[in-house]
Each structure stands twice: as structure tokens, then as C-alpha cells.
Amino acid sequence: MSRARVAVLISGRGSNMAALIEAAKDPAYPAEIVLVLSNIADAGGLDIAQAAGIETAVIAHAPFGKDREAHERMIDARLRQSGVHIVALAGYMRVLTPYLVETWAGRMINIHPSLLPAFPGLHTHQRALEAGVAKHGCTVHLVTTGVDEGPILGQAEVEVLPGDDEDRLGARVLEQEHKLYARCLADLVGALGD
Ligand code: GAR
């Protein structure tokens, strides 16, 4: 059976990307990571991907100034060059325009560090602590034009413990992110059935 060809888009350390690469080392996993693409030239995750023998690309956003769509056209061309079927955003910290979102509708997923629809946006762990929630966690969802709004593919819950701070809570959520993302990507490949 041929495996789905997945590109992972990152802007930073790439621990979720690394978890997907790890999952895909199992030949029975239904996806392979064929490209890691970053908008940041020195994103730490690029080194991890290269060490794993995965093709990487950097398409910096700065040269495009305010023309976000022109940046995304370059990204799209690179994804097609690698014959990608599915795009997984993993700490890709750019808001996408409708151009890229609609081009990859149903085939672009994102991981977010909260139980959406609670706490979209940034600083989710701090905001969860301030809100005094008992349960926090992470979400994998299809990407739509509304930020952190697409249909939810899966969630993992984490209990907020007495004495938690942003780092401790964030670390426990991240551990769950790594498992959830690999599972949801495999489920999506199964649901797409191609
Ligand atoms: C992850 O916690 C991910 O959920 C979050 O950025 C972190 C990236 O870490 N994404 C967002 O906040 C997107 N809205 P990683 O580079 O180690 O995977």
C-alpha cells in the first residue's frame, strides 16, 4: 500500500514534527513525511528533519513584505514539487490567507495547544491557568479560514494540577500533542482513502 505523502510546516523547534517523523518510521504507519518546510531559516526543527534524512526547504516570509499570498504561492509550488497529499502545520506561526487554506481544504491540519474552541490564539497555557479551568489539553483540526476554528479531528485532555505553572502544564500538554497528532494524521489518511 502506498503511503500518503505529508509535508510538515514549522516555524520553530519542531517537536510535533519530530513526533510525526518518529511515527512514520513504522512501515505500517499510513503516512510518510516527505518534506519539512519552514518560514524561518534557523528553525531548530530543520536540523532534526535533516538528521532524519528528510528533505527540507526554507521559504522566508520577509522578502514578500505584506504580500502574504505571494509567499504562499511559493509554498504551494514547493509542496506540489514534492508530490504532497497532506499538509500538517506544526507550530507554523503564520496566519494563512484564504488562498493556501482553500487550495488545501480538507487536506491541511493543525495542532493547537488548547481544547478548542477554548483559548484560540497564543499563550494558551497561561490563559487556561488564569481562567481556572480543571481540564486543558490540545486539539488537532482541519484548517479553515477562521484562525483555530476548523472541524475538530481529535482532542486530548490534561488535568490542571495544583501548583501548575505555564511550563509544567505546557510540558504535559506537549506530551499529549505528540501522541494526538500522529493518531489524527493516520485517521485523516484513512478517512481520505487515497
Ligand atoms: C505546539 O505546542 C503547538 O501546539 C503550538 O506551537 C507549539 C509548537 O511546538 N502551535 C500553536 O500555538 C499554533 N496556534 P513544536 O515546534 O515543538 O511542535
- Pick the atom of ligand 1 nearest to 19's CA: 18
**Residue 174 CB less than 6 A away from ligand 1:** yes
- Cα(111) to ligand 1 centroid in Å equals 7
pLDDT digits 0-9 by tens, 140-158 = 999 999 999 999 999 999 9
**Quick check: is 112 catalytic?**
yes
Note the pLDDT of residue 1: 67
Could you tell me the pTM of the whole model? 0.98
CA distances from 14 to 45, 80, 127, 146 (A): 4, 22, 23, 24
For residues 16-40, average pLDDT:
98
Q: How far apart are CA 48 and CA 60, in angstroms?
A: 19
